[in-house]
Amino acid sequence: MESLNATKPKTRLSNSNILFLIAAVIFVLMYLLAIISFPGSFLQFQTFFDLFNLNAPLIIMTLGLCVVMIVGGIDISIGALCGLVTMACAMLLESQMGSIWGALLLALGIGIAFGLLHGYLIAYLEIQPFIITLAGLFLAQGLLTTLHKDPINVTMPAFVALRDFKIIIPWLGTQNRLGVFIPCQIKPGVIVVVVLVVFFAALMKWSRFGRNVYAVGGNIQSARMLGINVKRTIFFSYVICGLTAGIAGFVFIMTTGAGNIGNGALFEIKAIASNVIGGILLNGGVGNLLGAPIGTLTLLVINELIRAAGVQSNFQAMVSGLLLYLFIVLQSIVMSLRGGRKFRIALPPWLRLPWLKGKKKADY
Amino acid sequence: MQRSEIHLGLKAHLYHLSNLFLPLSVLVLLIVINLIKGADYFSFTMVKGAFYGNIPNILFGASELVILSIGMTLVTAASRGQDIGIGEAATISSAVFVWFVLNAGEVTLLTIVAAFLLSCVVGLVIGVFNGTLVSIFRVQPMVATLILFMGGRSIAFMIDGKLSPILANDISNQIGTVIPGVPIQTPIILTVVFIAIVAVVLKTTNLRLYVESVGINPNAARLMGINPKKIIFLTFLIMGICTAVAGFIAVNKAGRHDSVNLLKFIMMDAILAVAIGGNSLRGGKFSITGSIIGAYTIEILNRTMLRLEIETETIKAFKAVFIIILMVVGSPVVRVFAGKVINRVRTGRFRSVLKRSAPKSVKEE
């Protein structure tokens, strides 16, 4: 019996987990690099919290997009949707009957309405998700500019109090040059992020819906054979994505306190990029939900690093593109080194390394 | 036997037409809306020996979009994904074009041609970059081209060295507008020439067959002796040429190279054109004709909304509603439903007519 236990093979890491592991390691390495190169700023806890404080909407959005990407679809309307929600909330709060709860309900309502529209058209009418969410993007942008063109700064007292509300951690902080202790501050949006990450991770890991999502994304035919309601799964994943975009919009206006046409612009591209960094494949079926926030943080740290390094603003985009390139290639190489048939790099024969060949032969 | 073969050929032809039915009917619908608005829609005027008017302007305005949607169709069909960095790729290649023209001293036709060829080479390099990522590293196309989407405009800015260098010479001006003595605007001629070249290539080579087989099933294509990597790589190279040509036309039209706004977000319209043309975005069979009609449809739609005097703020919302209606009408579920309805009508009312005319082989199927 003992020998049987000893020879028990180790369970191989699944593709989702290996990609997530790569993302997590990269994030830690990036942050260490940042600390080493700029110890003055990145060693402070406040810098770390600010990543969350300022980018809570983006992280929330990536969670919803992650579900859609695992089910094998894509949603490019979320950035514009977030902008529409901020503007609608700002207008409601500035009007006579504005209240914070009303704004929250409005935000959730807009998000769910768009999610229902996308979900119905994509799941039940089998239209291509890219085109439908592109139409959603146009619709949200059009409604946004129709509602109001100029920026609105919300002046409602209750809302301003909510906007300026900060949670202070008294035992964590830094001393400034004068020796005054400044405690760390967290915005309420961060708590929303943490709650949603925990909720979504549990949903994807343990609920029936989460497992259905993985099954449908992996192979739609076999999911149907297993008796999974494919259409309903796709439908609800888009509804969830719309809902998170609505929440993100509310958190956005809770952080900045203003409705603006440019709010949330191009967030969809950032969200897709961070999900890819987090190891969630666009083909569907592969990815760990925790990869979404990790990927976002990696992207943000990269951006902060570039900014701190004093790269000219015109070339920041180029450098981040280059880093994304390196990252994608690294992901591809690591996956191929695992020797899995699915992810082998298709190098032409004259480029193949001899030692690699031998290793692969030994594997099989 | 022969009879059934003829019938099958006819059936395939009809199938091809039914795919083009949706974009064509939309085109007709838009034109009818325009005619209701004002009967002078087709009128055109001669200004300095060239035609201007609604139709020439539509052909003029859509020229880059048509060229890009041709490339997008091929990429979509082979790699089952979309290239979202085409606007940026066009910006980079046209930046090289402008750089060469501005540094060449005296501008002659030869300079322009050399600069254009150079920008085509740059387009090919971009194609190699994207194609390598997609075919060798097996990255999804949308992710691979995301890199260029993020960094492309800064590269173009770096090549320019300053914000929007101006391209002021006679030949560029003529390419962007009209050559004296020719009644049609030059971008239209260039687009027609490009479409003709693509048509000849597709007619004379096996490209269509190979691209479709790779798009339908890469593994099956490999077993049949087609190298899917090479085909995907090739489509990205063609896309590179398309972006170079589109950038060339766009920069000559504008007369200056605005690296921030040149062809911004055109990938959305190009993908939309591919979808309106009845192509699947998941690869496989494709119809370039459909994509071209789709591209013109988008341009007509944009201009129709301006003509109907819809406020600029709401234009996008109207466009979205239009796309959604179009996609719902063209969706597989609705199509199957419509087919059933048509069948029922046929079998009910026209049974006797069909019985007489239908050949026997159809019944055996």
What CATH number does residue A158 fall under? Answer: 1.10.3470
Half-sphere exposure of A101 (CA within 13 A, CB side): 0
**Mean pLDDT, chain B, integer:** 85
Residue B194: the pLDDT is 95
Domain coverage including residue A290: 13-310
Phi, psi at residue A14, to the nearest 5°? Answer: -75, 165
Residue A139 lies in a domain: yes
Other Cβ atoms less than 10 A from the Cβ of B187: the count is 25
> The CATH number of B2-330 is which of 1.10.3470, 2.40.10, 1.10.1760, 1.10.10?
1.10.3470
Residue B356: the pLDDT is 52
Please work out, in degrees rounded to the nearest 5, the angle formed at the alpha carbon of residue B159 by the alpha carbons of B158 and B164: 85
Q: Over 60: is that where the pLDDT of A353 sits?
A: no
**Min distance B81 CA to chain A CA atoms (Å):** 10
Could you give the number of structural domains in chain A? Answer: 1
d(CA B335, CA A130): 20
Site from B154, B164, B227 to mutate, A interface, most A CB atoms within 10 angstroms: B154
Q: Does A130 touch chain B (CB under 8 A)?
A: yes
Residue A113 lies in a domain: yes
Q: What is the pLDDT of residues A109-125, one digit of tens each?
A: 999 999 999 999 999 98
Across A243-259, average pLDDT: 91
ipTM: 0.81
Residue B169: the pLDDT is 84
Domain with CATH 1.10.3470 in chain B: 2-330
Across B327-354, average pLDDT: 75
Residue A344 lies in a domain: no
Across A259-286, average pLDDT: 85
Contact status, residue A17 vs residue A288, Cβ threshold 8 Å: yes
- The size of the A-B interface in CB pairs under 8 A is 144
Contacts of B317 in chain A (CB under 8 A): 138-139, 141-143, 146
Neighbour-count burial of B13, counting CB atoms closer than 10 A to its CB (0-12 exposed, 13-18 middle, 19+ buried): exposed
Task: Give me the percent of chain A exceeding a pLDDT of 90.
Answer: 34
DSSP class per residue in A338-357: TT-STT-----GGG--HHHH
Residue A357 lies in a domain: no
Distance between terminal CA atoms of chain A?
A: 28
Residue B13: the pLDDT is 55
Across A329-333, average pLDDT: 81
Q: Which residues numbered 109-138 in B keep a CB inside 8 Å of some CB on A? A: 133, 135-138
Tell me the residue type at A293.
Answer: P
Neighbouring residues of A223: CB distance < 8 A, sequence distance ≥ 6: A212, A215, A216, A230, A233
Report chain A's C-alpha Rg in angstroms: 23
Q: Does A241 touch chain B (CB under 8 A)?
A: no
Q: What is the pLDDT of residues B141-183, one digit of tens each?
A: 888 898 898 888 889 998 888 888 888 888 888 888 888 888 8
Comparing A343 with A321, the larger pLDDT belongs to: A321
Please work out, in degrees rounded to the nearest 5, the angle formed at the alpha carbon of residue A296 by the alpha carbons of A57 and A68: 75
Q: What is the pTM of this model?
A: 0.84
Q: Which of B4-18, B129-143, B242-256, B291-305 has the lowest mean pLDDT?
A: B4-18
**Band of pLDDT at residue A163, cut at 50, 70 and 90:** confident
Pairing type for strands A152-153 and A258-259 reads: antiparallel
Q: Which of A136, A320, A348 sits opposite B151 (nearest CB)?
A: A320
Record: contact B138-A345, CB cut-off 8 A: yes
**Chain B residue whose CA is closest to A325:** B147
Q: Does B321 touch chain A (CB under 8 A)?
A: yes
Q: Does B271 touch chain A (CB under 8 A)?
A: yes
Contacts of A131 in chain B (CB under 8 A): 271-272, 275, 281, 323, 327
Q: Over 70: is that where the pLDDT of B207 sits?
A: yes
Comparing B212 with A156, the larger pLDDT belongs to: B212
Q: Does A340 touch chain B (CB under 8 A)?
A: no
Q: Which of B140, B229, B323 sits opposite A282 (nearest CB)?
A: B140
